[in-house]
Amino acid sequence: MTENQAYKIPRGAWYAVFVFFLFMMLHNADKFLISPLLTSIRDEFLLTYTQLGAIQTGASIVAVLFMPLWGYLFDQYARPPLAALASAIWGGTTVLSTFQQTILN
């Protein structure tokens, strides 16, 4: 292909970009909504500030431990099935967290 020829982007590529954009937007909204809701969480579950800090710290530790693993897996294996698996795990844990009525000590 010469420099003057335009590279045509497949239509399916834009769909993939849009899906990943929505996925990352929801993932980050889920992650960043904890901070503004800490007062409500504290009042609802009668938590100490130490326990509130543990919630934030736990989310960070999970990210630090699993993001390099997912990065390695995405580099080594087919991405669509891994993206589906990651989405299912994330969605499942998010749904399960909605049923939590107490905090475990």
Q: How far is it, in rounded angstroms, from Cα 30 to Cα 39?
A: 16
Cβ-contact 37, 51 below 8 angstroms: no
Cβ-contact 103, 45 below 8 angstroms: yes
Question: In the predicted model, is pLDDT for residue 86 greater than 70?
Answer: yes
SS3 state at 64: helix
Residue 47 is predicted with a pLDDT of 87
29 found inside a domain: yes
4 found inside a domain: no
Q: How many angstroms separate the Cα of 19 from the Cα of each of 14, 47, 95? A: 9, 37, 20
- Residues 66-75 have a mean pLDDT of 90
With bands split at pLDDT 50, 70 and 90, how would you rate the model's confidence at 12?
confident
62 found inside a domain: yes
2 found inside a domain: no
Q: Which domain holds residue 89?
A: 11-97
42 found inside a domain: yes
33 found inside a domain: yes
Nearest to 54 by CA among 78, 77, 38: 38
Q: How far is it, in rounded angstroms, from Cα 1 to Cα 11?
A: 20
